Amino acid sequence: MARVLLKNVTKKFGNVVAVNNLNLEIRDGEFMVLLGPSGCGKSTTLRMIAGLETPTEGEIWIGDQLVNDIDPTKRNVAMVFQSYALYPHMTVFGNIEFPLRMAGVPKQERIKKVKEVAEFLGIADLLNRKPSELSGGQQQRVALARALVREPQVFLLDEPLSNLDAKIRTQMRFELKKLLSYELGITTVYVTHDQVEAMTMADRIAVMNKGILQQVGTPDEIFYKPKNTFVATFVGSPPMNLIEGSIVEKDGKILFETEHFSLQLPSDVPKAEEAILGFRPQHVEVSLAPKEGYVKGNLLGVEKLGVENYGHIGYGRLEIVVRLPEEIRVMRGEIYWKPQGNRIYIFDPKTRRAIY
């Protein structure tokens, strides 16, 4: 059993609470992504699991062992850093062999294991090179090989793809996922601030902000059932639209009202004097002609993101972003829109929690 359990874990650096009372279980064999903006505490969490930082409070369990007081080298975890941290003066062979030498593994066995893991990762023909003679993607594979060679129970990765250019990053994303989840089935904790990486790789995502865990769930749960406005806007691109207003009942209809417009909502939405309506730019119907139930707006401009075009509709300081269907090719002017009824969210403006 190589599950990782964090129980009421807090880490303070002086006055800074980097991680605040974190409770999280990473199941045996699970690929868990810690996702959040810079400074949210994800690296600190990973470093505590590795044993490179000590929690100020709380417990960390790996398998059935409480590891708070266990030396990093004895935790049976391996960590890959953003910088790879390869030894520049050693060959690829020497780099991969290094942890085995430190562990006192006999020479013949070391050679066998290095060759095996190098074959496995497709770098067997690079064993005599120095790190400076490798591409970014190859260096990344060497760092992975060095981490894997000791057959750790838990694999920890801190932004391992962020130094690669966009094309290799996309390719390595899938390779890493395939290797760690499908081929090895190893318990993995993966830190990133990149929501696409999180969505495509994770079995479950733990979203953090300011040291506090916001939500844990599958990529679908995080995307379709965000628990609060932070998760709703951090995941998804362009971010979810959030509009302040009130929810009232008029003539048997439930309406969302702002100073600029009124919009009919599904009949089971609860009334609220103050509410935040949320909907994703991708979940909006758009028309150039007026239509029943659509809101009139002024298209300020269009952002072209490859195959998709996003229109910005302005109401004074309020701006709404909607994905434009292919047939709408105008850049400015009058436009009509309506969020898809089953794809809206309501948040409480005080707690920022989802109430619908």
Q: List residues near ligand ATP by CB under 6 A.
A: 13, 16, 18, 36, 38-44, 193
Residue 210 or 225: the one with the smaller Cβ distance to ligand ATP is 210
* Shortest spacing between CB 61 and ligand ATP, in angstroms: 20
* Shortest spacing between CB 17 and ligand ATP, in angstroms: 8
* Shortest spacing between CB 210 and ligand ATP, in angstroms: 8
Partnered with residue 333 across adjacent β-strands are 299
Separation CA 99–CA 121 (nearest Å): 17
Closest residue to ligand ATP: CB criterion: 43
Residue 81 or 356: the one with the smaller Cβ distance to ligand ATP is 81
* Shortest spacing between CB 234 and ligand ATP, in angstroms: 12
Residue 43 or 241: the one with the smaller Cβ distance to ligand ATP is 43
Q: How many CB atoms lie within 10 A of CB 8?
A: 12
Residue 47 or 280: the one with the smaller Cβ distance to ligand ATP is 47
C-alpha torsion sign, points 158, 164, 169, 175: negative
* DSSP string for residues in 200-218: HH-SEEEEEETTEEEEEE-
Nearest-CA neighbor of 100 among 136, 152, 53, 137?
Answer: 152
Residue 40 or 134: the one with the smaller Cβ distance to ligand ATP is 40
* Shortest spacing between CB 150 and ligand ATP, in angstroms: 25
Residues 6 or more apart in contact with residue 59 via CB below 8 angstroms: 5, 6, 7, 8, 9, 66, 68
Nearest-CA neighbor of 24 among 183, 220, 160, 191?
Answer: 191
